[in-house]
Structure 1
Amino acid sequence: MAPLSRTLFFRMALVWMLGATTATADDWTETAQRIRELRAAGSYEEARSVLETSTSGPAAERLAEAEVLDLALSGDLAVRAALAEADSLHTVVESEFSRGRLQAARVPAERRLDLLRGVLPENHPDLARSMVDLATIRMVSGEPEAESEFHEAARRLRARLGESSEALTLLYSTLGGVEQALGDLESSERWLREAVAIESRLPNRSSDEWSYPLTILARVLDQRGELARAERIDREQLRRALASYGEEHEQVARSLNNLGTTLHHLGEYADARDHFARALEIRRKLLGESHPDVATTLNNLAASVEALGDLEEAERLKRETLRIRRATYDEDHRWVAATKTSLGLNLRRQRRLAESESMFREALPALETSLGAAHPEVARGWFNLAMVLADRDRVEEAEEAGRRALRIFRDRYGDSHRHIANTLRWLAAIRTDLGDLAGAESLLVEACETHDRARRRIATEEHGEFFAGSPEPDLAMVLAARSRPLEAFEAAERGNGRLLEAALLTAGHGRISPEVRARREAAAASLGRAEQRWSRTRDRPAEDEDRRTAELDLIAAQAVWADVMSAIGARPLVPPFGARRTQTALVPQTALVGWLDRPFAGARGWTWGWILRAEGEPQWVRLPWDPGDANGATTAARLHEALDVAAAWPMRVTEDEVTRMNRRRLWDDRIGPLLPFLDGIDRLIVVPADELAGVPVECFLDPEGRCVADRWEISYAPSATLLAWLAQQGKGDAVDGLLVADSSLPRATEECRAIRDVIGAELITGEDGSESRLTLRAQSGDLERFRFIHFATHAETASDRPDRSAVVLPPEPPRAFLSAVLDTTPWFDGRLTAAEILREWDLDAELVTLSGCRTGRGRAVSGEGYLGLAQAFLRVGAHAVVMSLWDVDDRASAELMSRFYRRLATPGVGAAEALAAARTELRDLRDPDGSFPFRHPVYWAGFIVLGDPA
């Protein structure tokens, strides 16, 4: 999506620069705005007349305006000239700032502050506002030390206007917006909460008035993952805007746009689309077809439409966005370039490669002009061009563009940034495609080292998913091709399941105290600012004072960061167990299998399969590469889509020939070539493959028409290391079972009662199964006594942020809005997210079952499969998780679960064996009319076991 938070911040700062007090439509707001317009025009006599005829407004604000006008009309021509120049410069500052031209705004801002210092008293609000203008420009330009000027301005405003002035509210709101733009979300939230608290104490302030600080706070909470709070604020702001302004007003459009943003981040793309569409309708009516805010809303609408899969409509909306921005800004403006880049990415997804290339080539000169040739966005522009050139099989040109991107990234980031690792990985694929395996290996070794350095430096699970694109699997394939199978396995394992391993093996299930978490966030923000200062000064001469200061600041920030990381147990990732140690966890009849895929230029690529048995070296097999159909959809992708469609179909479905053909081809491509190495094997443990994420291998069909599930017992593991680690832990002493049912779902309580009859578990529904009640039990340690935990509830999966995937529980009692916003205690919204599970839960469970729809889905991540709820439960102590890959049929799910738990209650039977038997029984279940209602794999293959299968 568009950088909404930054757009909102600039609007927030503009409100400050314009001198407005609140976003309400009261008389004083309009009067103050009119006075400032007259002052900017030099019409001080008319401005005084407007002030004298007005009776509204805070006394302190009116007095401050009168003081300026008295000075201007005092007869001192020098004073009037200084004020006139300062007031006219205010308009220049506001205009340049609104266009994102920070340096062009800085010079007049500095001149205006000098002029006002010469004529106004020290504690005059206009002088404080001018200080804030310049501090805002400096901080956004990368000078965090300018924050001290905000605090000096606040001191002056307090001295003049008191503790609860609207100007002070707006100052803290602006500071919060600046901190947000700079990425310091913790500081931003603190200042914005202070602004909201001051605003709530203002005299004559209605609780129904629309609030700028609340708007920015919602965006910050959104970025921090607190979507429940953000959504509550956005909905309240929309209610207030509608109550104050009616249906068709800019504040209503803005509120709709903000709520749409939060809904988009919640994964509710259809609702987000509808809110953006309504905002667009209002803005077009109020602002016309070609206003920049219309372009912003079009761009957001395009993002939600694209997320819903309508690439053609998204393209249309992006082209309309581009038309407006071209009419508004210069052709080399960064927003024009950004829109061209977004359109180029859309066209690439549509496989319209020539048009995509043209759009990227148009964007590059504009990026270089607006940002400079050495800016990271320019590097990303070159990399986008490189990828589409490779798609068009113009390998040499693609490689050159990729190397240009690499040079810029290296100059900017040094040797420990993910963009460098990703670019090296991509260049290695080009070398592999050209047959230069030695060159590819060299590039990949460097890429792996760079990736590890970058990942260690971040070393937080919140950001870890963005570093999951490890180059290790690519190195594994190159090593396999060079006949080094053991090294290849070690490399593949270093790239598999590393987020989960890092949490389990290095950070005590990833949970740290709030105090240490706050220290970590502060240290990360400080390190980021120090790196920015160093990047701006490192090319200066060694004796340059600013360069020396920046280097010392960077060294100090790195030391603080290292101390904090040591405090939370973060250290270099634990080395993978390796083949020999993993084999100790495998019984003779078990094999660990996995696949690796890597596209090259054009329609070429590599697929490799590997097998590890209890004895012997890993075996590697080169497999057929699937280039996909005319739309780029591979066999696995087509089967994935067919199963999703069948799952959503309201009637009972039977299998079609195309689905059977795709199941057969996947056997031929993925299983058949491995058969020589699977003699005597009864159980397969599958490590997720990127291309097969969400496609159960159980349903592949062999040449005789038998399912994989009929030949082997199947389970899944995020990695060989995690599988071996779980096996070494042994089962705990927990014996009880806990069943959580959503009583609003027709069959959920019935399903849980049937399970209770088998295993004698505790069944909770309604308020007893609410998020707050379960959180209290988790905090008390009560949940550690359960061997089995079963959720028969809805679930939500978030493909963009797996930590936001959630188990949906009964709603909590409503809380008063303002107290809920200002209170920093946990917000229980009925959504038990993966992030909350990681923070609050500790288990000793043999099994967690998530029987709702799509509970095994989330974000598809290279080397991880889907990341979401299942991984969260494994992180906090579950040995295995049973989860669903698509929408489940109520009857089929209930039948499967009752059979599964009956098998599981048998001594010595593990989760994988119990699920395999239950699936077979369900598939063979015959209705009284003689039919087999559950023969289609959508009914029996949707549940899988992740983790320890025993």
Structure 2
Amino acid sequence: MTGFGSLSAPARELLARAAWLAAEPVPRDLAEALHPRAGDGPVDELARAGLVSPGPDGGFVLPAEAADSARSAFGERGRDESVLALSHYLGDEGSPGEVARCLTLLPHLVRWVGLTRPEDDFAAGAMLMNRVVVLLLHQQMGASALPVAERVVRACEIHVGPDDVRTWRTRSALASVLDQGGHVRRAARQAEKVIAGVSALYGEDQPDVWTTRNNLGAMYMRLGEYDRAARVVRQLVEHHTAVAGPRDRMTLMARHNLAVVLRKAGRLAEALEIWAACVPEFETALGATDPDTVDVRRSYASALEEQAGPDTSDMSPEEAEHTLERLSGEPGRLTQRHLAALIHRATQLRNQGRLDEAESDFRRAIDLGSREVGRGHPLVVSAHYRLALLHHLRGQDDLALEIAERSLLVSERSLGRTHDETLMTVVFVLSMLARQKRLDELQQRIEDWLADIIGGWGFGHPLVRELARNRSGLALYGVEWVGAGRSRPKSPGH
């Protein structure tokens, strides 16, 4: 302990444990986890000795050189206590701030893994590592956990047993870490081994088999192996239906995932058939505002938009009339092209000043579309926006704003905040608020939506540049906003 003999016992204990951590800031609460008396003077004592740099919150930074010297002096003393302190710092599962603490301790845990051997691990240390891996996976940050995930697998193989179900779970987590890190082929091979191993040892009904199989289906899809992905997901649909019933969340999500795979494979009609059947079941079983319901409804709307085929932006009035005449007599469900042609004709009538006829067509499109494809379908949202613009042309700005506000709520929920139709509606709402001098509401809306507008259209779009340039001064005029939005190519024309 050459050079450290003059330190008090608490300072030596704190230093011996901190020496196994990274040269990263150690906040006060982590310092107190390393040693309960850290806040009572040991940090100040180490700082006076020039061994640490104190932080403003009572924590510290231990430079790598000082840590190396401390490990040379103390040997393995403090090694196990340091990882136990990290576990104590992380706190109870699900406690407030758990994810933030996990991200704070990650570099320290990676450093500890790099300085120690799997043979020297113990159960508490392995469980801490596994918990961190799972937390990071849930935050879509699995790539940063790769060294920890690989280490926890090896530690469990040594100390728990290679065929223990807990070890297989760490291997499954490693597959997910590899997947999130972009090593999809390696991830799929690892997941295949987990499914085979757990099935052989514990049977096909073991829950981990189906959790890993669900992940494997997504991996196959990312690899472009759509037939294999579809086979896996069909197995999941059958399994969850038999175990939990057709209206269970897991069953419904498996059906949705099958539609996603089929759409990726170019089998759009089959995907739409699945979504058409299961979207109402999502709404009934889970509720219309459940996050999974919203996501599935958005996927369905996007697929319907894709099915609509070529846009009608360049369709002549005669072509629109011919399409409407030909399709209006066909029995069965309203087609997307029929609806698009109706909106296109209404838009042309509006641009010709034939506002009463245009309003009739827009309202017919909204009524038919809401019943047949849903209020949140892009074409129905588009019809609402165009109807609002028609009322603005009549000088009925209050009514125009009311229609646009209602449409925005539906569009945001069904299509998302960066979909073109949502953004077009937002822009119209902003223009109406500016015209009516409702500046407080206008400023708040700009703050709420500017990032989404930039994300959807890019900073190079003239409207985005104008919004950003005038954000603080609110020197915007509604006519210019609408003009910038109308210049964007759309289907059908705005």
Q: TM-score, normalised by structure 2?
A: 0.49
TM-score between both structures, scaled by the size of structure 1:
0.27
Higher relative helix content:
2
